[in-house]
């Protein structure tokens, strides 16, 4: 998947979030740092319906009104997809993304 394809998908997620949450969503940002925000491992593909797939996700950082898009490694992607409710992994991902976004802003 190219960076352009990821940006197009993130744009679609942003438009959908704006329609659903209105003015609560002010901007978007893509976490493109090294490593999975869940575990720090290298981002890579995973098997999904016998094909290679990437786990593209989004999270709303409400305090800043920003939709944060991110990719997960295969291990974390599978764990998130298999979850029927919030996992400790979700909290770790959100914490790591918030810290990365604040560093991006220079805080």
pLDDT at 19: 96
pTM: 0.86
What angle separates helix 88-105 from helix 74-82, to the nearest 10 degrees? 130
pLDDT of residue 30: 94
For residue 84, the SS3 value is: coil
Look at residue 88 in the predicted model and tell me its pLDDT.
86
User: Domain extents for the chain?
Assistant: 3-105
Q: What is the pLDDT of residue 15?
A: 96
Residue 84's pLDDT is 67
> 107 near 82, Cβ under 8 Å?
no
| Segments in the chain below pLDDT 70 | 1, 84
């Amino acid at each position: 998947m190219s960076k352009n394809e990821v940006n197009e998908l993130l744009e679609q997620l942003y438009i959908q979030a704006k329609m659903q949450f209105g003015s609560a969503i002010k901007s978007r940002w893509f976490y493109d740092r090294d490593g999975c925000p869940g575990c720090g491992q290298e981002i890579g593909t995973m098997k999904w319906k016998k094909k290679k797939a990437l786990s593209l996700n989004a999270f709303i950082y409400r305090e800043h009104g920003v939709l944060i898009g991110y990719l997960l490694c295969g291990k974390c992607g599978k764990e998130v997809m298999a979850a029927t409710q919030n996992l400790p992994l979700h909290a770790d991902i959100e914490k790591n993304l918030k810290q990365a976004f604040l560093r991006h802003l220079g805080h």
